[in-house]
Amino acid sequence: MRKVRVRFAPSPTGPLHMGGVRTALYNYLFAKKHGGDFLLRIEDTDQGRFVPGAEQYIIEALKWCGIEPNEGVGYGGDCAPYRQSERKPMYKPYAEKLIAAGWAYYAFDTSEDLDNIRKQAELAKMPNWQYNSISRMTMKNSLTLPVDEVEKRLAAGDPYVIRFKMPRNEEVRFQDLIRGWVVFSTNELDDKVLFKSDGMPTYHLANVVDDMTMNISHVIRGEEWLPSAPLHVLLYKAFEWEAPLFAHLPLILKPDGNGKLSKRDGDRLGFPVFPLEWKDPETGAISSGYREKGYFPKAFINMLLLLGWAPGNNQEIFTEQEMIDAFTIERIGKSGSKFDPDKTRWFNQQYLRATPHHELAQMLQPLLKEKGIDVSLEYTENVVGLMMERAVFVEDMLEGMYLFQGPTEFDAEAVSKKWKVGESAVIIQKWADAMNALEDFSFESIDHRFKEFLQEENLGMGAVMPLFRLLLTGTLTGPAAAQVASVIGKEEVMKRVAFGIEKLG
RNA sequence: GGCCCGUUCGUCUAGGGGUUAGGACAGCAGAUUUUCAUUCUGUAAACAGGGGUUCGAUUCCCCUACGGGCUACCA
């Protein structure tokens, strides 16, 4: 087997969709598993669709996801350049080689000509007109025009394209690594343009030439390319090159209804479809990103891994090395997968819980600073210990703002339900005095003293705890009140109790 | 329309000629928790339909239905 070299080859026409990230991931894992190379090639042969910033976005997004190429745009390598626009001069000789070998021809029909023919055909109820092995004989090309006229046109600089001369009555078959044998009849394929009149190759030519010259061993790409795979196979044959192995990935579908996942679905259902936030340079419209929403890149990747691939056992959480070890193309599913935002959240929760407290504290601190709260890392770590089990995102731990500042208001419903003017204050004051006498203000110590206190006073849990919590936090929900007390410290507890009694009476 | 690809719980999936068709997310119900969350336990939930092949098919083959992709001088 030749050395594994795979590529991810997006077009810089906008932000990278999560489906693209998954394609990149599978390529990356496959390369790593086989000690191969993973390259990033930018396919920018369509100047009309170029979007500024898109290329940078792609590079940054892959970096954030931790699936970095070891060769390609932004990384360099022996096959540079990796941007097709910079490889422009390379392609024409290949197209000419094809013409010389009888695999391609010049065509002089303009876009307008073709549009007209298609319109006419539609009117005649032949909705699917193609420039193919039959119709080409009625068109203006180097197959139908006299040789001297062709030369004259070429010399005069008439615009032309180069088309592939699709053979007639042949079967193209190739073995897709995911689907098995796939068979096409050349009679259904058209004479695709390989080289455009603007001097640029089309995707098909550029892709095949680059894959060959970059020594790509496996082409792992989206299913939308399956219909053009036979053309690519034929191109390799025409060039007398060894074709890479193909694997066509099923698509990611929208969570509800039918069809492939699109930007609109994210807006509509409230989840990102892009790894990073993207601002459209034309409209200024913002599309949300997983990074900005507070997802861990590893959780995002782990989710993507399992969307269309399964290890065969019940493992769901994978380290990068485990992914690399377990990944095989054969275990990629054949059918499209509906994206599940809920499960994505679940993955994030799993990763959050697996993250050490001090790391979470480091992530939480900047968020606190934004809110004007400056506390020590040690203190933040205590907060994390208290809040992490109820959080899906780091940001969720901010819900316990009472860990940083005492309540100024009290939940009205809770007050009317639990607080009895005159009575409650007396009990709470007693309990506060008991706490005040405590040397050790750890959770265990407070908890222990609390139980004693209940015995001494002959009171039930429910008679004191909710009141205490209310004064501490202003609400009736959250972590154990004694734990909150321990984190904020004795002095603060006393302050809050005093404030509460004062305020509620 | 044509061509190609696909179809196991609501969703992601495991499985594979004889299984109580397994797991996870989401759902529901209980337990624990002063509360919320967590956790635990339990529960409901699937082989698209029809023909073959076979002693036996969810598994293999065919057809239909449904879904998806492609059908540009876009990738």
> Model confidence over A322-336: pLDDT tens digits?
999 999 999 999 999
* pLDDT-based confidence at residue A175 (cuts at 50, 70, 90): very high
Q: Which nucleotides of B are covered by protein (CB under 7 A)?
A: 1-8, 10-15, 22-26, 33-38, 67-75
Q: Which of A263, A293, A430, A490 is catalytic?
A: A263
Distance of CA A453 to the CA centre of its chain: 54
Mean pLDDT of the region A467-491? 92
State the distance between the two ends of chain A, measured CA to CA, in whole angstroms: 82
Integer CA distances (angstroms), A181 to A117, A172, A256, in order: 35, 10, 31
Q: Which of residues 252-291 of A touch strand B (CB under 7 A)?
A: 253, 255, 258-260
Q: How far is CA A4 from the centre of its chain?
A: 24
What is the pTM for the complete model shown? 0.94
Is the pLDDT at A463 greater than 90, yes or no? no
Interface predicted TM-score (ipTM) of this complex, two decimals: 0.95
Residue with tokens 């691939």: A309
Confidence class for position A91, pLDDT limits 50, 70, 90: very high
Average pLDDT over residues A272-292: 95
Token pair, residue A93, equals 């000789």
- Whether A451 is catalytic is no
Above 80 in pLDDT, residue A391?
Answer: yes
Burial of A187 (0-12, 13-18, 19+ CB in 10 A): middle
Say how far apart CA A10 and CA A158 lie, in whole Å.
32
CA of A131 to C1' of B11 (A): 43
Within 74-93 of chain A, which residues have Cβ less than 7 Å from strand B?
none
Q: Is A257 a residue whose pLDDT tops 80? A: no
Q: Are strands A218-222 and A161-164 parallel, antiparallel or unpaired?
A: unpaired
**Can you tell me the distance from the alpha carbon of A435 to that of A497, in angstroms, rounded to the nearest whole number?**
11
pLDDT at residue A267 in the model: 86
Question: Given this model, what pLDDT does residue A421 score?
Answer: 86
Identify the residues numbered 284 to 303 in chain A whose C-beta atom is closer than 7 Å to any atom of strand B. none
- The answer to whether the C-beta of A175 is closer than 7 A to strand B is no
Residues in A 10-39 whose C-beta is less than 7 A from nucleic strand B are 10-11, 13
Give the residue-averaged pLDDT of A388-405. Answer: 93
Nucleotide nearest to A12 (CA to C1'): B75
Under 8 Å CB-to-CB from A151, ≥6 apart: which residues? none
Question: How do residues A205-250 score in pLDDT, each as one tens digit?
Answer: 999 999 999 999 999 999 999 999 999 999 999 999 999 999 999 9
Asked if strand B contacts A478 at the CB level, meaning under 7 A, the answer is: yes
Q: How many Å apart are CA A16 and CA A62, to the nearest integer?
A: 9
Nearest to A31 by CA among A329, A333, A236: A329
Could you give the angle at the alpha carbon of A34 between the alpha carbons of A30 and A40, nearest 5°?
A: 50
> For A94-108, A157-171, A413-427, which range has the lowest pLDDT when averaged over its residues?
A413-427
Residues 6+ apart with CB under 8 A from A7: A27, A38, A39, A40, A41, A72, A211, A214, A216, A219
pLDDT(A31) > 90:
yes
User: What mean pLDDT is reported for chain A?
Assistant: 94
pLDDT-derived band of residue A258, with 50, 70 and 90 as boundaries? confident
Average of per-residue pLDDT across A291-301:
97
pLDDT exceeds cutoff 90 at A256: no
Token duo for residue A22: 């998954």
Q: Give chain A's domains with CATH numbers.
A: 5-73+205-251 (3.40.50.620), 91-196 (3.90.800.10), 263-335 (1.10.1160.10), 355-401 (1.10.8), 412-504 (1.10.10.350)
Q: Which pLDDT value is given to residue A128?
A: 84
For the residues A368-373, what does the mean pLDDT come to? 92
A253 CA: nearest nucleotide by C1': B68
Question: At residue A38, does pLDDT exceed 90?
Answer: yes
Contact, A183 CB vs strand B, < 7 Å = yes
Whether residue A430 contacts residue A457, with contact meaning beta carbons closer than 8 Å, is answered with yes
